[in-house]
Copies of this chain bind each other. A is one copy, B any other.
């Protein structure tokens, strides 16, 4: 079992930290929100005074933060890199932009430590159940060291490639997912407006070339299949605001790559309009409201 500093105890991070404790690791945890620190401390973690404190005298540091600037700030400005002991491995499970992920690999390496970018999919449910997928970028050797730790929080631990490539893989996947959610929305509004019953649309499309995981998990109209957010007022699930974040990360990655993403860009614009209309708290499948605001 290992000693682990865990920084960032939000909706996802708190569950992940608790699962690491359950798996038998010794945790020191930090978050700006003291309440969530107490919540995880009650499960057996030591409450640290600061990010740097959490990173002191541990074998691994796990960060789980909202955006790239937070990761940079915690590692550099908040002194985590200065605080860690020789041999510490830093794992960033935040979903952040590829450029910052690459830069963090460089910064940590220059300081003499090892780094793995390891964003997750699976949502709050997966974080709580310990069934997350980790998409990892970094050296094979570092990945091998981190795998036992990640297995305490997830089920599917994949090395996608070198520095930053965990992030790249995740946003490629999520870009497709976001596009698919909007594509299904367009089709259901079109078909239903022209008189086809939504149940017929679902039955035909879900058994034909239009089928997808998103259609099954996030069918954008209510009443045609079980267990989708549309049946429950679009309560997430995976919030539209998080999908917007990922679609924008994909756009940033495309700028870095110099490649074009006509649909990724159009989907990002649609989710931004959805956000401007005050709907980011709803499930991703609520993007259908951009096409037809009063649909249910």
Compute how far the CA of A185 lies from the CA of B10 in the bound complex, rounded to whole angstroms.
34
- When C-beta atoms are compared, the residue in chain B nearest to A292 turns out to be B276
Compute how far the CA of A217 lies from the CA of B211 in the bound complex, rounded to whole angstroms.
11
The stretch of A24-32, A43-51, A82-90, A200-208 in contact with B is A200-208
Q: Identify which of B172, B183, B207, B257 contacts A175 (C-beta below 8 A).
A: B183
Closest Cβ of chain B: how far from A110's Cβ, in Å?
14
Contact between chains at B169 and A175 (CB < 8 Å): no
A2 within 8 A of B: no
Contact between chains at B210 and A180 (CB < 8 Å): yes
Q: How large is the interface on A (under 10, 10 to 19, 20 to 34, 35 or more residues)?
A: 35 or more
Compute how far the CA of A194 lies from the CA of B173 in the bound complex, rounded to whole angstroms.
14
A260 within 8 A of B: yes
A107 within 8 A of B: no
Residues from chain B with Cβ under 8 Å of A242 in the complex: none
A98 within 8 A of B: yes
Closest Cβ of chain B: how far from A115's Cβ, in Å?
16
- When C-beta atoms are compared, the residue in chain B nearest to A261 turns out to be B186
Contact with B along A225-260 (1 / 0, CB 8 A): 000000000000000000000001011111111111
Contact between chains at B267 and A172 (CB < 8 Å): no
Closest Cβ of chain B: how far from A139's Cβ, in Å?
14
- CB contact list, A83-132 vs B, under 8 A: 98, 121
Contact between chains at A208 and B121 (CB < 8 Å): yes
Residues from chain B with Cβ under 8 Å of A65 in the complex: none
Compute how far the CA of A9 lies from the CA of B41 in the bound complex, rounded to whole angstroms.
60
Assess A179 versus B177: contact at CB under 8 Å? Given A169-B196, A276-B293: no
Q: Identify which of B173, B195, B197, B210 contacts A213 (C-beta below 8 A).
A: B210
Closest Cβ of chain B: how far from A210's Cβ, in Å?
4
Q: Identify which of B168, B186, B262 contacts A196 (C-beta below 8 A).
A: B168
Residues from chain B with Cβ under 8 Å of A165 in the complex: 194-196, 200
Contact between chains at B208 and A213 (CB < 8 Å): yes
Compute how far the CA of A188 lies from the CA of B256 in the bound complex, rounded to whole angstroms.
15
Compute how far the CA of A217 lies from the CA of B209 in the bound complex, rounded to whole angstroms.
9
Contact between chains at B276 and A269 (CB < 8 Å): no
List 29 A-B residue pairs with CB atoms under 8 Å apart, sorted by A's residue number: A121-B209, A158-B203, A165-B196, A176-B184, A176-B212, A180-B180, A182-B262, A186-B259, A186-B262, A208-B213, A211-B212, A212-B214, A252-B252, A252-B255, A258-B272, A259-B272, A260-B269, A260-B272, A260-B291, A261-B269, A262-B266, A262-B270, A263-B263, A263-B270, A265-B266, A265-B268, A266-B266, A273-B291, A277-B277
Which positions in A face B, CB cutoff 8 Å? 98, 121, 133, 135, 156, 158, 160-162, 164-165, 168-169, 172-177, 179-180, 182-184, 186-191, 193-197, 200-201, 203-205, 207-215, 217, 248, 250-270, 272-273, 276-277, 290-293
